[in-house]
């Protein structure tokens, strides 16, 4: 079945450093969504990418969808302590009907 792999599993950065998490799907995706879950909280929708090669920005966050629509990345510039949490990607296969989540990347930021 469809699998969505996410790396790294865990990253600990110094405040001000950049951070990137990568998401790879075993199948072509119709779209990919990114969520953030703060410690003790619930996943919160960040963004959705639909088009091949799409790039979207939200302040210090940059999201990319690969040309083949099988991978995606989230890049945070100059991390802040408020960025801590787990970042999940979630993709739906091109002819599928369910959203498959990656295992998530846990981000810790040292101040």
Q: Are 38 and 85 spatial neighbours (Cβ–Cβ below 8 Å)?
A: yes
Q: Would you count residue 10 as binding other proteins (CB under 8 A)?
A: no
Task: For residue 77, report the phi and psi dihedrals to the nearest 5 degrees.
Answer: -90, 135
Q: Give the number of other CB atoms < 10 A from CB of residue 13.
A: 16
**33 lies in the site for other proteins, by CB under 8 A:** yes
Contact residue for other proteins among 7, 13, 84, 103 (CB under 8 A): 103
Task: Pick from 3, 12, 45, 51 the residue near other proteins by CB under 8 A.
Answer: 45
Cβ of residue 17: shortest distance to other proteins, in angstroms? 25
From CA 47, how far away is CA 45, in angstroms rounded?
A: 6
Q: By CB under 8 A, tell whether 85 contacts other proteins.
A: no
């Amino acid at each position: 079945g469809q699998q969505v792999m996410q790396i790294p599993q865990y990253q600990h950065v110094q405040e001000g450093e950049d951070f990137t998490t990568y998401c790879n799907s075993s199948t072509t995706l119709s779209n990919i969504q990114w969520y953030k879950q703060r410690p003790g909280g619930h996943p919160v929708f960040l963004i959705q990418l639909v088009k091949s090669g799409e790039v979207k920005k939200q302040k210090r966050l940059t999201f990319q969808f690969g040309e083949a629509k099988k991978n995606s990345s989230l890049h945070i510039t100059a991390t802040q302590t408020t960025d801590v949490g787990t970042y999940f990607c979630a993709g739906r296969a091109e002819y599928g009907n369910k959203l498959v989540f990656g295992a998530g990347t846990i981000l810790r930021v040292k101040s």
